[in-house]
Amino acid sequence: MLTNNTFKHGVHPPEHKDETNKSPIRQFPFAPLFILPVEMHIGAPAEILVRQGQEVSRGQVLAKAGGYVSVPIHAPVSGTIRSLGNVHTISGKMVQGIYIEPFPSSTQEVMEGTPVDVESANPEQILQAIQDAGIVGLGGAAFPTHVKLKVPDGKHCDTLLINGIECEPFLTTDHRVMLEQADDIFMGIRYLIKVTSAKRVIIGIEANKQDAAKHLAWHIPRGLPVEIKVVPVKYPQGSEKMLITSLLGHEVPSGGLPIDVGAVVVNVATTAEIGRLLPHGRGIQERVVTITGPAVKKKGNYLIPIGTPLRFVLEEVGVTDNISEVYMGGPMMGVAVSNLDISIVKGTSGIVVFGEEHVTKSEKIFPCIKCGACVDACPIFLNPSKLGILAKFEAYDKMAESYNLMDCFECGSCTYVCPSHIPLVQYFRLSKSIVRKRKTKEVTNA
């Protein structure tokens, strides 16, 4: 089960997992108002089907998928649509959204749909059911899972990798899911095998979650071709490409996808959600979120209805008076929240809150001293130092054409090690979005 195989480079930030990894998943209370942005996944926004004043049941479809790369949104509570209007999102952009006020005395029972039988359903029916359930990557990417699972013509999937790595500091969502939802995970794997035709399945887990590895190993159903592999702790081990290198020894080519080396990678919580929802024909209305950080009083793992306002979450768990930074996701790949009026969405794996005393305010940025630490840290062998200099000169096209900027998956390892405090990953995020916009313009003008 234990392997020493790992990818080259990477970093070892403090883990901070002990603060919540023993905390069982608890149901979070229902907020007085829910806010559901139609853009909580990658792809086309969902299209609203309800109107102001309409009464809805928990699990009902409120907005349908806006295209193939899109998913519907289900009601997280039974209640009344208070209004439709613009809502805040983590990106700072205002998008269309739905406000729901729950019925005060409802039992909040979830609507049952049409079950999808794993034995008799064909791959296309399962893919459709995954889209209909509104499932996206719960590790944080929020990419529609049915699109990711569709094996393109001419390619084939040898290995299904279930990603239970969770290398992001502070977060223990996937850890608790592996300890508490083993049956759902294995049911999800049955659906995924049918869709991908994978011959073998590997669940990858980091060595700081040995209890989860043992628990899952004990519960593998007879006849299911599943192996558990435990890899050394190193960030960003949980990224798809790193996991493939560590477990399969293959390098995904630049600009390529896991399927190019015969693999499909699915997050473990997403797998559990497939196994939990499809047998009931239900849609996703809640998810497990780690709420932690030094400024949080009641740290833990909570099952939180989608659309719960962040402000309500922080009130319920209690935070110190002097909060300074709130991250959605972890501190390495998460996003600093600039507005507490956003809500928990499908991609929210964690909320990490720091007080003023835990944050070094506006560290001075020094010039690059060519120490090479960022080059040694980058897991995909980019040259962050050179890319950083080019970003300062706004040489975005050169960054993309000569230095593989678009391969950067924004893991933040380079920023973490830089002694000059150069915000490299922030530069690269911005540079990538400029390159993408330019490309879209070129295609539109062509």
Q: Which of 25, 179, 278, 422 binds ligand SF4 (CB under 6 A)?
A: 422
Given its phi and psi angles, is residue 67 left (phi above 0), alpha (psi -120 to 50 degrees) or beta? left
How many residues sit close enough to ligand SF4 to count as binding (CB under 6 A)? 29
> What part of residues 316-375 is at the interface with ligand SF4 (CB under 6 A)?
368-374
Sheet of 323-328: strand order equals 26-27, 300-305, 286-292, 350-355, 323-328, 335-336
Smallest separation, CB 369 to ligand SF4 (Å) = 5
Beta carbon nearer to ligand SF4, 56 or 368: 368
CA torsion angle for 406, 408, 409, 414 (degrees, to 10)?
-160
Beta carbon nearer to ligand SF4, 113 or 334: 334
Residue with tokens 């960054």: 399
Is 420 among the residues that bind ligand SF4 (CB under 6 A)?
Answer: yes
Q: What is the C-alpha separation between 180 and 174, in angstroms, rounded?
A: 10
Options 40-48, 206-214, 246-254, 412-420: segment touching ligand SF4 (CB under 6 A): 412-420
Is 258 among the residues that bind ligand SF4 (CB under 6 A)?
Answer: no
In three-state form (DSSP H/G/I as H, E/B as E, the rest C), the secondary structure along 242-302 is HHHHHHHCCCCCCCCCHHHHCEEEEEHHHHHHHHHHHHHCCCCCEEEEEEECCCECCCEEE
Beta carbon nearer to ligand SF4, 231 or 377: 377
Q: What is the C-alpha separation between 421 and 399, in angstroms, rounded?
A: 21
Beta carbon nearer to ligand SF4, 264 or 424: 424
Smallest separation, CB 380 to ligand SF4 (Å) = 5
Is 425 among the residues that bind ligand SF4 (CB under 6 A)?
Answer: yes
Helices marked H in 181-267 — which ranges? 182-196, 210-219, 240-248
**Cross-strand bridge partners of residue 202:** 161, 227
The contact mask relative to ligand SF4 for 378-397 (x = CB under 6 A, - = no) is x-x-x-xx--x---------
Beta carbon nearer to ligand SF4, 68 or 366: 366
Smallest separation, CB 407 to ligand SF4 (Å) = 7
Residues of the shown chain interacting with ligand SF4 in the complex, contacts defined by CB under 6 A:
368-374, 377-378, 380, 382, 384-385, 388, 408-414, 417-420, 422, 424-425, 428
